[in-house]
Amino acid sequence: MEEETAVADWSALPEDIIITVMGCLSVLGDLVRSGAVCSTWRDAYATFRRLHLPSTKAQPPWLLYACDAHGPAAAALYCPATGNSLRVPLPTALLDGRPVIGASQGWLVTVDEVPNLHLINPLTGATAALPPITTLHNIERFTSRKGKTRYRVYDDMGYSEASIVYSPAKARERVYHQVVLSRSPAEGSACVALLLHRPDGDVSFARLGDERWTPVAYPGQDCSTGCRHAIYDDADGLFYTLHYDGSVYAIDVPRAASASSPPATREVMRSVTNADNGSKYLVRVPCSGDLLQVWRFVDYDDGDEVEEDEDAEDLPLSTKHLQIFKVDGGEQKLVEASAASLEDHVLFLGHGFSACFPAEHFPALKPGCAYLADDHEQVSMRKHCRRDIGRWDMKRGQMERLSGEDDVAAPSQPWLNWPTPVWITPTFY
Condensed to tens digits (0 to 9), the pLDDT of residues 302-343 reads 554 434 334 444 556 788 999 999 999 999 999 999 999 999
What pLDDT score does 1 carry? 47
For residues 396-418, one letter each, b for 16 or more C-beta atoms within 10 angstroms of the residue's C-beta and e for the rest, the string is eeebebbbeeeeeebbeebbbbb
Residue 308 neighbours by CB under 8 Å, 6+ apart: none
Collect the ranges in the chain with pLDDT lower than 70: 1-11, 22, 25, 27-29, 31-33, 35-36, 49, 51-57, 91-97, 156-161, 220-225, 256-260, 301-316, 377-385, 403-418
Cβ 218 vs Cβ 198: under 8 Å: no
As a whole number of angstroms, the distance between CA 195 and CA 176 comes to 8
261-268: long-range contacts, CB 8 A cutoff, minimum separation 24: 262/214, 262/217, 263/205, 263/214, 263/216, 263/217, 265/216, 265/217, 265/218, 265/219, 266/219, 267/219, 267/223, 268/240, 268/327, 268/329
- The size of the chain, in residues, is 429
pLDDT tens, residue by residue, 351-393: 889 999 999 999 999 999 999 998 876 555 566 667 788 899 9
Closest CA to 234 of 280, 197, 183: 183
Secondary structure class of 47 (helix, strand, coil): helix
Cβ 315 vs Cβ 302: under 8 Å: yes
Secondary structure class of 414 (helix, strand, coil): helix
Q: Tell me which amino acid residue 211 is.
A: E
Helices within 160-280 (DSSP H only): 168-174
Please report how the helices 39-50 and 15-22 are oriented relative to each other, as an axis angle in degrees rounded to 10: 60
Q: Tell me how far CA of residue 284 lies from CA of 68, 292, 324, 368, in angstroms.
A: 36, 6, 12, 15
What pLDDT score does 184 carry? 94
What pLDDT score does 251 carry? 96
As a whole number of angstroms, the distance between CA 179 and CA 196 comes to 6
DSSP label at residue 170: H
